[in-house]
Structure 1
Amino acid sequence: MHIKIEISSDQAGLRLDQVVADSKPQISRSIAARLISTGAILVNQTTKRPGYKVKPKDLVDGEAPSPDHQDIKPLVPESIPLNILYEDDYILMIDKPPGLVVHPGAGNDSGTLVNALAAHHSGFREQSWGMDRPGIVHRLDKDTSGLMVIAKTVGSLEFLQKEFKQRRVEKHYLVLARGESIPDSGVIERPIGRHPHHRKRMTVMEENGRYAKTRFSVIKRFDSGCLMDVRLYTGRTHQIRVHFYDQGMPLFGDSIYQNRTFRKKDPGVPRQMLHSWTLSFRHPYSGVRLFFEAPMPEDFKTTLLYLSRGGPVKSVNQG
């Protein structure tokens, strides 16, 4: 399998192994790292480390083994209930519950959405996927609930990933955010990058961050915050959480991107209050534009009622 990628300005700053893994659905991040480390994939005809940060116009070139020759850990099917909103031969729409991890990783070898998918449909267990996250077009954080579109064929996966990359997918979220002076609506355009000291966190980064755009509008106000409709124009890691924290209106229940005073768990707020609400995209086979909506989950409704009745103490300055 030949790999040839010319790095665009939008990809600049990404890790090389991530770029390679994103280029082919058959290649996982770990396989990409191994290929780079062994010199099978080069950048501008020179060897690089998997963590090399790519630059605009870098030429990534090399050969990857076919899926039949890749060392892939077997995916274990698990009977985990799925809330399926729609399904055909090409896609699967689910309403992900909070607390469900999307795919296996460090500390999560089982009990993931991918394990559930493998039990639901035998096609997800086929070797042709060549990776540990078959069908996964986009991700939600463990404690984020709501809509996810899953590809049931490699062709559908490639089409939908391109649609997300080209920003042809319209995504709206429901958010409960803390703050007493939140404007009725607004647009946040602040670049986001990896935190220089906390590698598992993201942060607004003016110089080396990637462009990120978020639009919000208030649906309902209460004493300590708001319920908001949030549209994502880009899909950076933790984008809503980072943008809202940067603007002084962090999400209720977020223990990371949060004012120090509120990082301890509140009994009335079980998780970060973020719900993937609506999703609109073109069908990978018919081209017809589809629209899906996931209703507000029960824990979100309960938290909204709790906050509307007074809930936690009022917000303070970011610290």
Structure 2
Amino acid sequence: MHDQFFIVTEQEANERVDKVLPTILTDISRAQIQSWIKSGHVLVNGEQVKVNYRCELHAKITWEEPEPEILEVLPEQIPLDIVYEDDAVLVVNKAKGMVVHPSAGHHTGTLVNALMYHCKDLSGINGVIRPGIVHRIDRDTSGLLMVAKHDQAHQSLANQLKDKTVKRSYLALVHGAVPHEYGTIDAPIGRDPKDRQRMGVVTGGRDAVTHFEVIERINQAFTLVKCVLETGRTHQIRVHMRYIGFPLVGDPKYGQRKTIATEGQALHAQELGFHHPVTNEWLVFQVEPPEVFTETLKKVKEMH
């Protein structure tokens, strides 16, 4: 993430630079942005500015993310639901509410902390903060995730994701009665220009393809769908289902105002298939959704 830049539009003109940047870099807190400005990691038209600098129209703001200050990620004894493990890969059923890797605001209690306690060898391709992590699922999404134990395994799994040969299917509970039994949503995803904290279907976004199949329609008000990812963009299923008018139940970011409390979106990574990075054998894993998902399903079936 070196030397990214942003040109100030009328919307941001005259706003303080430390207020504008957190709307673009949504994972970074305002306090962090302020420390970046003070340490010269943020420049306006190539010049260092003060924290209270007010942005001029068409000014070019560049930033370079300083190396993360998490010097070490410590192993933590956190229970893990391991579905499969050998010398090259590990498949884990991630609990809902667990963050995958350390980041600003989440230095401990993550899946990576737990993995480091569980096994001493994880691939180093993604650096200290994301050892072994080839792909992610959102904090409040439960289900299957593959982890690489060494760099060769990591490379193989990453290539399979890029070549779209990994099978990833999810269970999602959405608002509304989806009319078609099957469908494909092919719509590019990028940052939502109106709200930088969200992703959206945007012109010029990155290619994103989701296939879906209706499993069950419930009281004409909800549908249980199976979603198969062809690509893996941030919040892809959540954004795509909202885009076609059927937002996920319980989704705080993309859902309806009036939804059902489910501790975040009702989304579960149920099936994962990939070629073993060493033996090339095709492996497929399935896990049932957690109790909070089945309880939500029961709740909507009882509503009239």
- Normalising TM by the smaller chain, what interval? 0.7 to 0.9
Q: Would you say 1:220 and 2:220 are equivalent positions?
A: no
Do 1:147 and 1:276's aligned partners in 2 also have CA atoms closer than 8 Å?
Answer: yes
1:254 corresponds to which residue?
Answer: 251
Match of 2:88 in 1: 90
Distance 1:248 1:214 in 2: 14
Code of the residue aligned with 2:88 in structure 1: it is Y
**1:1-319 matched pairs, under 5 angstroms:** 73-124=71-122, 130-205=127-202, 207-223=203-219, 224-262=221-259, 266-267=260-261, 269-310=262-303
Structure 2 unaligned runs (5+)? Answer: 5-40, 42-60
> Structure 1: which amino acid aligns with 2:87?
D
Shift of 1:49: 5.6
1:167-224 Cα shifts (integer Å, max 9, x gaps)? 111110001011135322211111111111322210001x211111111111111121
- Cα distance in 2 for partners of 1:254, 1:115 equals 26
Kindly indicate whether the alpha-carbon contact (under 8 Å) linking 1:167 and 1:233 is maintained by their aligned counterparts in 2.
yes
Q: Deviations over 1:56-100 (max 9, x none)?
A: xxxxxxxxxxxxxx9971121100000001100000011001000
- 1:260 Cα shift? 3.3
Deviation, structure 1 residue 271: 2.4
Q: Distance in 1 between matches of 2:178 and 2:159?
A: 38
What SS does structure 1 have at the residue aligned with 2:211? strand
* Identity among equivalent pairs (%): 43
Measure, in 2, the Cα distance between the counterparts of 1:295 and 1:178.
21
How far does residue 289 in structure 1 lie from its aligned partner after superposition? 0.9
TM-score, normalised to structure 2, is 0.75
Secondary structure in structure 2 of the residue aligned to 1:237:
coil
Alpha-carbon separation, structure 2, partners of 1:237 and 1:142: 12
Residues 243, 16 of structure 1: alpha-carbon distance in 2 compared, 3 angstrom cutoff: farther
Q: Distance in 2 between matches of 1:150 and 1:187?
A: 28
Distance 1:118 1:149 in 2: 15
Give yes or no for contact 1:182–1:249 (8 Å, CA) kept in 2: no
Please give the secondary structure, in 1, of the residue aligned with 2:121. helix
Looking at structure 1, the residues matched to 282 and 72 of structure 2 have their Cα atoms a distance apart, in angstroms, of 35
- Structure 2 vs 1, CA of residues 95 and 179 (structure 1 numbering), >3 Å: closer, same or farther? same
Q: Deviations over 1:246-301 (max 9, x none)?
A: 11100000011023344xxx34x332100001011110000111111111211111
SS of the residue corresponding to residue 134 of structure 1 reads coil
Instruction: Measure the CA separation in 2 of the matches of 1:259 and 1:72.
Output: 36
Cα distance in 2 for residues equivalent to 1:128 and 1:232: 24
Q: CA deviation at 1:129?
A: 6.6
Query: When the two structures are superposed, what TM-score results if normalisation uses the length of structure 1?
Result: 0.72
* Count of aligned pairs: 247
Conservation of the 8 A alpha-carbon contact between 2:217 and 2:223: yes
Task: Look up the equivalent residue of 2:112 and give its one-letter code.
Answer: V
Residue 300 of structure 1 aligns to which amino acid in structure 2? F
| Letter aligned with residue 221 of structure 1 | R
Say what the alpha-carbon RMSD is for the aligned residues: 2.5
Deviates more, 1:181-190 or 1:298-307: 181-190
Taking a change above 3 Å as real, the CA distance of residues 243 and 167 of structure 1, as seen in their structure-2 partners, is same
**AA partner of residue 284 (structure 2):** F
Q: In the alignment, which residue of structure 1 is the partner of 2:10?
A: none
